[in-house]
Amino acid sequence: MTTLDHPDPAEAAKRKAAEWAASQVEDGMAVGLGTGSTSALVIEEVGRRVSAGLRITAIATSEASHSEAVSLGIPMTDFAHQPHLDLTIDGADEVEEGTLHLIKGHGGALLREKIVATASSKLLIAVDPRKLVKTLGSVFLLPVEVVPFGWETTAARLRDHGFAPELRVNDDGRPYITDGQHYILHCDLPKSGLTPEQAAAALKQTVGVVEHGLFLGMASRVVIGSVDGIQILEATRTSSSSLK
């Protein structure tokens, strides 16, 4: 089946990436489980493998992913019992070609995603081809998680940096609240005129900012699915595969 005659090529691409990513989980591993629609497919596949006898423990990056994993019988743990993870599999909103720098957090889970990724030996990112960009911030705004108290003054300081922050709101107009009970400010990275590294440093120095969705130099590998197979990107080299 080709891209043209597939009923939902994007969904098929995500599934291909997710299946390959899930196949990288090995017996005995402690695994980080990501958040978002691609990660949900990864969790589904990992759940299938656990039912077939795979022995792992896992920590999820959101309440939603945790619930999904529990419902599929994946044994869950926490950082008190498992301070280090072998592999985290997650999605991304943007993957910058070449550097494999990421923007994450449009699922609202960037803080836990970064904590889990930082505690992992490897971060494997599963995406469909629409996520690849030449420059970070060219498609998606950058989510920045902030403390609700005084968010307006935090936003004002981010505005001074040129980020043009906008509060993320739900359909009812109320602020979106993360699993950590924080707000999200959507920031415009290109408008700031800063490089991703400069932006990350400026955000980290801003009081009231809890974490930001720039994941720089964190991805070990990116698997890009398509209807026909997968492509694997690594920070220093690119290789292709046509696994069905």
Residues marked as catalytic: 113
Note whether 91 binds ligand A5P by CB under 6 A.
yes
- What are the two backbone dihedrals, phi and then psi, of residue 124, each rounded to the nearest 5 degrees? -105, 125
Size of the site for ligand A5P (CB under 6 A): 18
CA 220, CA 236: separation in Å to the nearest integer? 10
Distance of closest approach, residue 215 Cβ to ligand A5P, in angstroms: 9
Note whether 35 binds ligand A5P by CB under 6 A.
yes
Partnered with residue 31 across adjacent β-strands are 58, 87
Minimal CA–CA distance to 34: which of 165, 234, 215?
Answer: 215
Nearer to ligand A5P (CB atom), residue 150 or residue 217: 217
Q: Is 122 helix (H, G, I), strand (E, B) or coil?
A: strand
Of 24-32, 68-76, 85-93, 235-243: span binding ligand A5P (CB under 6 A): 85-93
Residue choice 38, 154, 192, 206 for contact with ligand A5P (CB under 6 A) = 38
Compute, in degrees rounded to 10, the torsion defined by CA atoms 203, 205, 206, 209.
Answer: 60
Residue choice 19, 45, 93, 211 for contact with ligand A5P (CB under 6 A) = 93
Measured over the CA atoms of residue 140, residue 144, residue 149 and residue 155, the dihedral's sign is: negative
Note whether 108 binds ligand A5P by CB under 6 A.
yes
Write out the residues near ligand A5P by the rule CB under 6 A: 34-39, 90-93, 104-110, 113
